[in-house]
Amino acid sequence: DIQLTQSPSTLSASVGDRVTITCRASQTLRGWLAWYQQKPGKAPNLLIYRGSTLETGVPSRFSGSGSGTEFTLTISSLQPDDFATYYCQQYDDYWTFGQGTKVEIK
């Protein structure tokens, strides 16, 4: 099965910062990569699918890119509502999640 490794595990940033999270896959994905945001006590919320397509209603400060085995999630200008944990997920072969990246206040 496909393993996903996210980096960093924790990220300290300030409002207005540009933030980048990386997700590496154990084998080549055909672009079937999604990103979720999860806040404490809540279910994950789909942000991006197909590597770079924003889900309806997701702010444009979120963007995704990448191909093959390396993908990134970028938040162009971090907002107070963005402090959360982010997960990548492959859905090329069933579904698996990365271990998560917590974005905390610096």
Partner 1 sequence: QVQLQESGPGLVKPSQTLSLTCTVSGGSISSGDNYWSWIRQPPGKGLEYIGYIYYSGNTYSTPSLKSRITIPMDTSKNQFSLKLTSVSAADTAVYFCARAGLHCSNGVCHQAPFDVWGQGTLVTVSS
Interaction site with partner 1 (CB under 8 A): 1, 32, 34, 36, 38, 42-46, 49-50, 55, 87, 89, 91, 94-100
**Least distance between partner 1 and beta carbon 55 (Å):** 7
Six-digit token string for 93: 């072969």
Q: Which residue has the tokens 């496909």?
A: 2
Which tokens in the block code for residue 46? 């789909």
**From the CB of 97, what's the least distance to partner 1, in Å?**
4
Q: Name which of 19 and 98 has its Cβ closer to partner 1.
A: 98
Distance of alpha carbon 51 from alpha carbon 89, whole angstroms: 10
82 or 98, CB closer to partner 1? 98
Residue 23 CB, nearest distance to partner 1 (Å)?
13
Whose Cβ is closer to partner 1: residue 74's or residue 95's?
95
Q: How far is Cα 12 from Cα 70, in angstroms, rounded to an integer? A: 22
Minimum distance of partner 1 from residue 94's CB (angstroms) = 7
- Are the beta carbons of 62 and 72 closer than 8 angstroms? no
- Give 60's DSSP letter: T
